């Protein structure tokens, strides 16, 4: 039973984070956005899937923002590091500029790599 000082929390809503300059922040666990009744149009705009978390922020002026939060599996976290993403951007820029070489066979590739 909750005390009079603490209002009841809805099922599935995590405890709020410490308030910061953004205001009051709460998260819904994966799958709970549909329980909340987030309309399909909003889920599509946020690119939400069933596995995603949802973050609600109540700003000091009363405005509420909703943000989809994708969970990244631990074994794939390396891909999203700043260092790896910098390499991805560099490779994409080189490909877009046509700065690449296509090999007809592995022997030519290895010869070019001096292996």
Per-residue confidence (pLDDT) for residue 12, from 0 to 100: 42
Domain that holds residue 107: 74-112
Sign of the CA dihedral 91, 46, 27, 22? positive
Number of compact structural domains in the chain: 2
Q: Are residues 57 and 82 in the same domain?
A: no
Q: Are residues 39 and 62 in the same domain?
A: yes
Instruction: With cut-offs at 50, 70 and 90, classify the pLDDT of residue 71.
Output: confident
Least Cα distance to 71 among 57, 100, 51 occurs for: 51
Q: Are residues 41 and 55 in the same domain?
A: yes
pLDDT tens profile 96-112:
999 888 999 999 999 99
Helical residues (DSSP H) of the chain, grouped into ranges? 32-36, 40-45, 82-96, 106-112
């Amino acid at each position: 039973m909750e005390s009079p000082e603490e209002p009841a929390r809805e099922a599935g809503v995590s405890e709020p984070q410490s308030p910061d300059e953004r205001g009051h922040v709460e998260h819904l666990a994966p799958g709970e956005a549909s329980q909340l009744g987030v309309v399909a149009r909003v889920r599509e705009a946020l690119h939400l899937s069933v596995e995603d978390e949802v973050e609600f922020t109540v700003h000091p002026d009363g405005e509420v923002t909703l943000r989809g939060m994708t969970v990244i599996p631990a074994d794939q976290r390396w891909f999203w590091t700043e260092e790896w993403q910098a390499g991805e951007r560099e490779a994409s820029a080189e490909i877009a500029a046509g700065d690449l070489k296509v090999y007809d066979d592995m022997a030519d590739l290895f010869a070019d790599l001096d292996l």
